[in-house]
Structure 1
Amino acid sequence: MAEHKHGSMDITVQEKTYASFMTFVTRFTIGLVIFAVFLAIFAT
């Protein structure tokens, strides 16, 4: 069985994917809040 050294794997792709996902979630959440405020103000 091969020896595994902790921290030796290249995870740059995973880090970029996670950063992109968090950016999307943040922007989507802000958009939902703005939409909810818009509905609260203008929907009667």
Structure 2
Amino acid sequence: MADNHAEGGHPDMDYAEHERTYALFLKLTKYGAIFCIALIILLAITTL
């Protein structure tokens, strides 16, 4: 992520925690999408 918050961010905000949370969100979204696609493929194969 861009480090443009270093000079003007709010001092009470924990930007490192925000970036870790966002990275976790992206990882869960990616694996969730992969799981859903795999489930749809499995259902298509087993119903033929």
| Shorter-chain TM-score tier | 0.7 to 0.9
> Greater Rg, structure 1 or structure 2?
1
Match status 1:19 vs 2:31: no
**What is the TM-score normalised by the length of structure 1?**
0.75
Please list every run of at least 4 consecutive aligned residues from structure 1 whose deviation after the TM superposition is greater than 3 angstroms.
7-10
5+ residue gaps, structure 1, are none
In structure 1, what is the equivalent of residue 4 of structure 2? none
Q: Give the 5 Å matches for 1:2-41.
A: 5-7=7-9, 9=11, 10-41=14-45
Highest RCO, 1 vs 2 (Cα 8 Å, sep ≥ 6): 2
The total of aligned residue pairs comes to: 40
5+ residue gaps, structure 2, are 1-6
The CA RMSD measured in Å over matched residues stands at 1.8
Identity of aligned pairs, percent? Answer: 28
